[in-house]
Amino acid sequence: MQTDQKAIEQRMNKIVPYRRHDAASQPSSLYEPYRATVRRAPRQPLVLLPHTLSEITGPVYGHNDITETDSDLTRQHPGEALGERIIVTGRVLDDNGRPVPRTLVEIWQANAAGRYFHDRDNHPAPLDPNFTGAGRILTDENGAYRFTTIKPGAYPWKNHDNAWRPAHIHFSLFGPAFATRLVTQMYFPGDPLFAFDPIFQSIPDERARQSLISSFDLAITRPEWALGYQFNIILRGREATPFET
Ligand SMILES: [Fe+2]
């Protein structure tokens, strides 16, 4: 029994935790111009959770249910989705520059008119019966993913007088472990609403803010079919980088 315990402890000692985020690269939990943060920001100092076996080795789940149309949001219904067709592609890397293969990337977004397919979105813009606005894909061996979708519209959100969100696509990634989970938003270059958006502005570091803006890439476009944007995503890497064997 004691031997088992010792073996477990030895294995635990080999666990290399994930690097903590640089605070300036993350949105402030309290940013008054973003009104919802006033209600939900923690009032007590944060407690750092140790990265133990469960945070570092999970989640483990089956990947069999993902189909081809899950990553083509324009072909999930009998008719064509309305709007400007786009390809969004990039790589998921860790902050040691290594690809994160076979990881789940999920997206959700408003339609071309800026309306979500959701009960609580009732702003006066049309729904598109051929566009749900949700997709998912697994990264390949090189950490690459690729979605075909519709460029989302800006939408009003009542945070303050005349508040509009810049066009964006929500991203969720599990990465290789719970400790690397990332939920973020991708924006489009040159959006005039950046300066007025407290969600975008709640990230203190300018470089981190810019990293959320995709880049237009003519090489990704498909002639006569779709424009192309590149968006690379960096997840936490391990604190100690093991040498390659
Ligand atoms: Fe949104």
C-alpha–C-alpha distance, residues 153 and 157, integer Å? 13
Question: pLDDT tens for residues 103-125?
Answer: 999 999 999 999 999 999 889 99
CA 198 to chain centre: 18
Res 2: pLDDT: 59
C-alpha–C-alpha distance, residues 157 and 221, integer Å? 31
% of residues, the chain, pLDDT over 70: 92
Res 140: pLDDT: 94
% of residues, the chain, pLDDT over 90: 69
Q: What is the mean pLDDT of the chain?
A: 91
Q: Which of 102, 124, 126, 93 is nearest to 112 (CA)?
A: 126
C-alpha–C-alpha distance, residues 11 and 108, integer Å? 39
Spacing, Cα 115 to ligand 1 middle (Å): 9
C-alpha–C-alpha distance, residues 56 and 75, integer Å? 36
Instruction: Give the pTM.
Output: 0.91
Spacing, Cα 4 to ligand 1 middle (Å): 49
Spacing, Cα 245 to ligand 1 middle (Å): 43
Dump the DSSP string for the chain: -HHHHHHHHHHHHTPPPBPPPPGGGS--S--TTSTHHHHHS-SS---PPP--HHHHH------TT--GGGGBTTSSSSSPPPS-EEEEEEEEEETTS-B-TT-EEEEE---TTS--SSTT--SSS---TT---EEEEE--TTSEEEEEEEPPPPEE--SSTT-EEPSEEEEEE-TTSGGG-EEEEEE-TT-TTGGG-HHHHT---HHHHHTTB-EE-TTT-BTTTBEEEE--EEE--BSS-PPP-
Res 245: pLDDT: 43
Token pair recorded at residue 242: 């093991």
Spacing, Cα 170 to ligand 1 middle (Å): 6
Mean pLDDT of 136-147: 96
Catalytic residue ranges: 116, 155, 165, 168, 170
pLDDT at 40 over 60: yes
More confident residue, 63 or 35: 35
| 8 A C-beta contact, residue 120 and residue 79 | no
Res 62: pLDDT: 67
Backbone φ, ψ for residue 184 (5° rounding):
-150, -175
Res 79: pLDDT: 97
Spacing, Cα 44 to ligand 1 middle (Å): 28
Res 11: pLDDT: 63
Spacing, Cα 1 to ligand 1 middle (Å): 52
Spacing, Cα 52 to ligand 1 middle (Å): 33
Spacing, Cα 169 to ligand 1 middle (Å): 7
| 8 A C-beta contact, residue 150 and residue 73 | yes
Spacing, Cα 123 to ligand 1 middle (Å): 13
Question: pLDDT tens for residues 147-163?
Answer: 999 999 999 999 999 99
Measured from the Cβ of residue 120, the count of other Cβ atoms closer than 10 Å reads 5
